[in-house]
Chains A and B, each alone.
Chain A
Amino acid sequence: MGGAVNRLAAWLFAPMPLARVAVLRLLVFAFVVVDVLLLHTSGWYHGYADPVWYEPLVMGRVLHLPAATVLLVETLKWGCVAAAVAAMTGRAPRLLGWAVAVGWTWYQYVAFSYGKVDHDRADFVVALVLLPTVGLAHLSDQRRSEAAGFALRAVQLAAVATYFLSAWAKVRFGGWEWVNSATMVRAVVRRGTPWAQWLLEVPWTLHWFQWVLFTAELTSPVIFLLSERWRRRVVAGWFVFHAMTYAAITIAFWPHLVMMLAFLPLEQYAARLRARREPLGSPRPRVFERLTRS
């Protein structure tokens, strides 16, 4: 028992490079800017909707959050952008990181409290709340820390929980017969792209796809037991799945895709990118040489 707890703790706090957290944060905050300005704008439009349509969520009832106004949505939108851009500098990581967390979460709340909750955006809250707990982390800081390891592990856990719990939701709301239902047919009928229409002509494709998806979701936690090489292959497999979904029904779980990057050695990619941009013959910092060798 004590041994298992120790092993679990060692796994949860396995030291990871601070640079990996720094790169992931950069991507997360850059995503917040793109998301708020371009990808998920329904919250902004709710500023123009009549308050009669406002249906507070539990969070809004507890915190007494008001219905949206134009002033509120503009403040949240530009506040998120300003905080995220400032956080991308890496300064004051806790203050700015948590400012982004509050702003982005509130902005999503405004989007979701008018009758429709998007079911793919909850795990990103975990990333926004926990990545700042690492404190200062520089893009070239190759030191490993337990705080970095914990934050990355928590993001990985939340991302994988999304898959597993969505299989759970399918059983709860759709029943075990979900796999044999016409759910994907419905999705393609309602929002299928021109190059997905052939799937309706060959009905077994979508039927079979439901079995594959459900199995993959239910077994997703296995990713934590795999070797590093297979772990990356599974992550690549999920990215292919999400790309196919986007091609077929133009739905992508964007924040979740950013979180899946927590499985990858981001600091090595970043170093390789920087090394490639260095002109030939110029002296390179030793840390880059070490990295490009691996």
Chain B
Amino acid sequence: MSHFLRRQGWVVGLFALLIVLFIATRIIQPGYGSGDFGSLARAVLPYAFAVAAQTVVVIAGGIDLSVAAMMALTSVTAASMMAGASEEYALFVVPFVLAMGFVLGALNGLLIVVTRVPDIVVTLAMLFVLQGAALLVLDAPGGGAAEWLKALISGTVPIPGLPDAVDAWLPKALLVLIVCLCVIWIPLRRSRLGLSIYAIGSSELAAFRSGVPVKRTRIIAYALSGLFAAFGGLALTMSTGIGAPIPGPYLLASVAAVVLGGVALGGGKGGLLGPIVAVFVLRLVRTDLTLLAIDPNVTAIIEGLIMVAVVMFGAFITMRGRQ
């Protein structure tokens, strides 16, 4: 138990914070119900995938600035492919877009390993490139999405044996998120590859001496990041029904949630659960601010301030740790 608390203490604290925020939300808006929670889960979905993408590379000791641009590109690719196409065609589009994210992510990693240019520069250049590619695919928001894909994240799914009252609080978007993340993350976390990702982030030298193939592991970490970003892009298309070529605020949000989620920016520490909970916390803060009838633009400022403060705090902690 003490091990669990020491390792997961931060996440437990975040959960507590989340519950407090939920209570606050109910106080602000007594009518806040399962439907609102459903829309929260839907809003969280792209953020959560962006954060997952960032988390993998940060754990491996890197950073990926191209997350948001990658989401934009995958989103417009999916939207433009599905526009006017048959419902069945989407069955092909989804794996295609995911594979595209994986390959482009691997390209990030490969460029870092081969050119030895620092990750931050390579992913910055890739940010430009992916953004440009997104504009080439669609120069304005547009495209479409298969109905079944849109339906996949709206409403709830009846689970036999659960009372409707509980069921209503399990929106499909949340289930999709949990399933997608678990299917990739849990086997990864338990595999030697997962350990290797933690190892190169924690101490590259020790990992090298322990026989970890450092370069290969780094490329795979970026490839996984690309895969999660592609999930995020699909989620964008699914929730809006279209694709937008201009990247959203997902880069800064992903870094902030990673820091808030207890993943050290130096690498090697933390897990996926913390950042995901952190995303819910950040989104719920936004909801509360909106419910308090604060100007949405002011909300954006407050949100930005929180994110910058969190990132500064994270950098400060990392600096302290190094001394």
- Whether A and B are associated in the same complex: the answer reads no
Binding site for B on A (CB under 8 A): none
Measured CB to CB, the residues of B under 8 A from A are none
